[in-house]
Amino acid sequence: MLKLSKHWLLVALLVLLILVPVITQDSYYLGVLITMGVTIIMAVTVRLVIRTGQMTMCHAAFFSMGAYGSTLLALKAGLPYWLTLPLSGLLTAVIAMLIGQATLKIKGVYFAVATFAFGELVRLVYTKFSFFGGTQGLANIPRPGFFGLEFNTSRVHYYYLLLFLILLTVAVMYRLERSRFGMNFNAIRESDALAESIGINVMRHKILAFAIACFFAGLAGSFQAHYMTYINPASASFWTSTYAILYAVVGGLGGVHGPIIGAAVLTIASQYFSSFPFYEMILYGSILVLTIRFFPGGLLDLPSQVTRWLGYR
Amino acid sequence: MTAQLLGQMVTNSMSVSLIYILIALGLTLMFGIMHIVNFAHGEIYMLGAFGIYYLNVLAGIPYPLALIISVILLAGFGAALNALFFRVLAGQFLPSLILSLGLVLILQNVGWLIFGAEAQGVPKIVQGVLTFGGISLPVDRIVVMLAAVALMIGMYLFVHSTRTGRAMRAVEEDPTAASLHGVNVSRIHYLTWIIGCALAAAAGGLVAPLWFLDPVMGAHPALNAFVIIVIGGLGSVPGAIVGGFLFGFIETFGGTLIGPEITSMILFAILIVFIIFRPTGLMGVPIR
């Protein structure tokens, strides 16, 4: 009975999300939800990579590959959005597979530092070469158009597109989590060598997780590019990657819904601080420090941590 | 390429390398002994520099005393960070990495709030320019370099020749065996934080009269220090020194000859290649 009511809850949530633009056309609220949506995809996908035991510090680099890829395909090759979106995702996934092939055999802190360097390298490439627009980036990115439906400055169309992308991403993540792949990822995270010894092809699994995560990150980047209609190298910045990890960790890495909760809560919190940018960062930093130190399981784990804490009293 | 330009580049890279090395030494010790990654180390350097600003410029304390006070305060701050946050995370690089990122957010933005968005300056402590062989060197730069070399040598001697230094190396090699031999591992951890932060704060304090101060001045040197310690070998003091000079030379010469962005890209590419093919670096100890 409990499981049935949880499903009804999700259905109700889904209906509510679909009806949001019907309830409010307010561009501010839609804007916040859209920002939240992009961060949700980033947080959920970065969690997938972290769950295989690899601490990636360059997630924003793949986000930006989707953004720049989609933009360049649209601007230079004149392709319509329904092509550039999936193509940019695929491009990002392919690059992720190549990078992963070379780097995923490295573990621990070395992988973190290597991805950190890679992320900076990518950002520098965007900054240096005029093909990517240099420090200014690229502007006048065409708005999406799907078979006659042209997006305009109203955010409603973007909202539905993003909702679709999020549902797709989360559905794939959930299926992976519950599948044999998900169990293998857990095994690999706990111990590479042990997983290998029972016949799991560790590298193939890691590369698969990495490629899938980067595919959706690329889709998010493509969305962002055509939503903002401009992109610049800041989209590949180290801090963007860090925020993705922040949302995922604060929400809790234990389940796919953890990063969703983390991203949602922190995005809403940041709205209250929008006029105090420094305080916002200090808040984020403090939340991160306190979470790691006292609540490593994140918000997901909070109820059980509290009951445990009360149980000791 | 005149001898003048060459000489200038050599001395520039020397002084830049020495500052990076001071920061890198603390980082590599922290990783070697406690297996933690501290992204906030650059902020200690920044606070060291601002400490000089407040003590020397605003409070009028003479520079050498201000430097010592700043170093002591930040060493204490490091010990506090260890006590509050990192002590329980010793041995786990992942949580410590994420936590230190949180600290960076806090410290940098507190810096913006307190120190303001305008770059601050600290007046030169020594005036004058030394000229030899056609190369002109400001005296204050020479003083900074000498001080940095002194700290570096002192650090190396401490780690290699004193009893406590040997205790540190023992903990680095095997904490359990070290504690069986009577080493107080927890105290060594505190000492590592104190020494690391003292060196970073000293670097910041030495640099304060040379360059401009701003709350994010620590990001670039810390990033470079990370590259240095990986190339030199995580946990290795001589590695940090060799890697530091190598890095400083490449950065200075590359920056002048082929441009800073391309040089950075090359340095990052070298780092990635090192990690893939020789993760222990030039002189590092094998990963346990």
Q: Which residues of B touch A249 (CB under 8 A)?
A: 98
Confidence of residue B288 (pLDDT cuts 50, 70, 90): very low
Q: Which residues of A touch B269 (CB under 8 A)?
A: 121
Closest CA relative to residue B85, chosen from B225, B190, B210:
B190
Q: Do A282 and B106 touch (CB under 8 A)?
A: yes
Measure in Å the smallest separation between the Cα of A20 and chain B Cα atoms.
34
Q: Supply the pLDDT for residue B80.
A: 95
Contact of B283 with B239, CB cutoff 8 Å: yes
Which residues, 6 or more positions from A150, have their beta carbon under 8 angstroms from its beta carbon?
A: A143
Contact of A82 with A146, CB cutoff 8 Å: yes
Q: Is pLDDT at B74 greater than 60 in this prediction?
A: yes
Closest CA relative to residue A264, chosen from A251, A255, A276:
A251
Residues 76-135 of A with CB under 8 A from B: 102-103, 106, 108-114, 116-118, 120-121, 124-125, 127-128
Q: Supply the pLDDT for residue B42.
A: 94
Closest CA relative to residue A238, chosen from A64, A100, A70:
A64
Q: How far is CA B288 from CA A192, B274, B280, in A?
A: 15, 18, 11
Which residues, 6 or more positions from B231, have their beta carbon under 8 angstroms from its beta carbon?
A: B239, B243, B246, B247, B270, B271, B274, B281, B282
Nearest neighbour of B109 by CB, restricted to A103, A282, A296? A282
Nearest neighbour of A288 by CB, restricted to B102, B107, B265? B102
Q: Is pLDDT at A53 greater than 70 in this prediction?
A: yes
In terms of Cβ atoms closer than 10 Å to its own Cβ (0-12, 13-18, 19+), residue B33 is: buried
Least confident among B56-60, B95-99, B152-156:
B56-60
Q: Is pLDDT at B122 greater than 70 in this prediction?
A: no
Residue range A95-116: mean pLDDT, rounded: 90
Q: Supply the pLDDT for residue B202.
A: 95
Which residues, 6 or more positions from A151, have their beta carbon under 8 angstroms from its beta carbon?
A: A143, A144, A145, A157, A158, A161, A226
Which residues, 6 or more positions from B270, have their beta carbon under 8 angstroms from its beta carbon?
A: B231
Distance CA A238, CA A59 (A): 9
SS3 A176: helix
Q: Supply the pLDDT for residue A243.
A: 94
pLDDT digits 0-9 by tens, A132-162: 888 888 888 888 877 666 777 778 888 889 9
Nearest neighbour of A284 by CB, restricted to B105, B113, B275? B105
Distance CA A260, CA A275 (A): 25
Distance CA A46, CA A217 (A): 8
pLDDT digits 0-9 by tens, B11-39: 888 989 999 999 999 999 998 898 888 99
Confidence of residue B118 (pLDDT cuts 50, 70, 90): low
Measure in Å the smallest separation between the Cα of B227 and chain A Cα atoms.
8
Q: Supply the pLDDT for residue A11.
A: 86
Residues in chain A: 313
Crossing angle for the helix pair A298-312 and A238-251, nearest 10 degrees? 40
Q: Do B98 and A288 touch (CB under 8 A)?
A: yes
SS3 B79: helix
Measure in Å the smallest separation between the Cα of A243 and chain B Cα atoms.
10
A-B Cβ pairs (cutoff 8 Å, strict) = 113
The DSSP letter of residue A231 is: E
Q: Do A287 and B102 touch (CB under 8 A)?
A: yes
pLDDT digits 0-9 by tens, A71-86: 999 988 888 888 899 9
Residue with tokens 């304390």: B61
Confidence of residue A307 (pLDDT cuts 50, 70, 90): confident
Helix (H) or strand (E) holding B87: none
Give the whole-number percent of chain A exceeding pLDDT 90: 52
Q: What is the number of other CB atoms lying within 10 angstroms of the CB of residue B146?
A: 11
pLDDT digits 0-9 by tens, A161-210: 999 999 999 999 999 999 999 999 999 988 888 898 998 899 999 999 99
Confidence of residue A278 (pLDDT cuts 50, 70, 90): confident
Distance CA A277, CA A257 (A): 28
Buried/exposed B230-248: b ≥16 CB within 10 Å, e otherwise: bbbbbbbbebbbbbbbbbb
SS3 B132: strand
Q: Hey, of B28, B268, B273, which one would you mutate to test binding to chain A, going by the most A CBs within 10 A of its CB?
A: B268
Residues 239-298 of A with CB under 8 A from B: 242, 245-246, 249, 278-279, 281-282, 284-289, 292-293, 296
Per-chain mean pLDDT for chain B: 87
Chain mean position to CA A262: 12
Residue of B nearest to A104 (CA): B276
Contact of B42 with B223, CB cutoff 8 Å: yes
Confidence of residue A313 (pLDDT cuts 50, 70, 90): low
pLDDT digits 0-9 by tens, B252-284: 999 888 888 899 999 999 999 988 888 787 876
Confidence of residue B114 (pLDDT cuts 50, 70, 90): confident
Confidence of residue B133 (pLDDT cuts 50, 70, 90): low
Q: Supply the pLDDT for residue A213.
A: 96
Distance CA A223, CA A69 (A): 11
Q: Give the DSSP per-residue string, A53-94.
A: T---S-HHHHHHHHHHHHHHHHHHS---HHHHHHHHHHHHHH
Q: Hey, of B85, B97, B105, B288, which one would you mutate to test binding to chain A, going by the most A CBs within 10 A of its CB?
A: B105
Residue of B nearest to A109 (CA): B93
pLDDT digits 0-9 by tens, B192-238: 999 999 999 999 999 888 888 888 889 999 999 999 999 998 888 88
Contact of B28 with B234, CB cutoff 8 Å: yes
SS3 A310: helix
